[in-house]
A = this chain, B = another copy of it.
Amino acid sequence: MKEVFGSPGKVSGLVLRIGQFLSAGASCGAMTSAPGFSVSTAFCYLIASMGIQALWTFVLACVDIKAIRLRRGLQSRTLVSLFAVGDWVTSIVSLGAASSSAAVMFLFVVDTELCNIDQNLGCNMIEISIALAFFSWFLLAISSHAVLWVLASVE
């Protein structure tokens, strides 16, 4: 299989997965610790999607570690296809969740100024969580493209 930056079974791929796992986990943690996050369904959806992303990237990081320890790339086409589908579904869900939360937050901060009015709403923590979610999605998008590229080049 072709070698590109971030492809599965490579050190660059593992670094991306660890970054995705840490930022998704941190995003999830920041949102759950923000007071009053349950005011909008979008924030709850962000927690769910970041939780799924953390779980998915943790499994893939383990597969990458195994492949690196055995000093060989991932040879199975079926496994790489599974990675591609999973990565794409997760990245679409993550981008949707991050954008949704950002839109609601923009409504609270700029359009209605609810963050200034309601001091019980943990706007700062929610903003940090959204920024981490976008960062996590960005790393996942790189991995998704790398996996698709590897898959297409061996077709």
* Residue positions of A touching B, CB distance < 8 A: 2, 39-42, 45, 92, 95-97, 99-104, 106-107, 110-111, 145, 148-149, 151-153, 155
| B103 and A42 contact, CB distance less than 8 A | yes
Which chain B positions have C-beta within 8 A of A100? 99-100, 102-103
Most buried by B among A95, A104, A155: A104
Please name all residues of chain B whose beta carbon is closer than 8 Å to the beta carbon of A107 when the two chains form the complex. 40-42, 104, 107
Q: Which residues of B contact A149 (CB under 8 A)?
A: 148, 152, 155
CA gap between A37 and B131 in the complex, in Å: 26
**B45, B101, B106, B153: which contacts A152 (Cβ < 8 A)?**
B153
**Residue in chain B with minimal CB distance to A110:** B41
Contact residues in B for A97 (Cβ distance below 8 Å): 99
CB-CB nearest in chain B for A2: B155
Q: A99 to chain B: which residues have CB within 8 Å?
A: 95-97, 99-100, 103
In the bound complex, residues from chain B placing their C-beta under 8 Å from that of A148 are: 145, 148-149, 152
**Cβ-neighbour of A39 out of B96, B106, B111, B151 (below 8 A):** B111
Which 6 residue pairs are nearest across A and B when measured between Cβ atoms?
A100-B103, A152-B152, A42-B103, A96-B99, A99-B99, A149-B152
Residues of B near A155 (CB, < 8 A) are 2, 149, 153
**Alpha-carbon distance A95/B40, docked complex (angstroms):** 20
- Contact (Cβ within 8 A) A103 B106: no
CA–CA, A102 to B104, complex, Å? 10
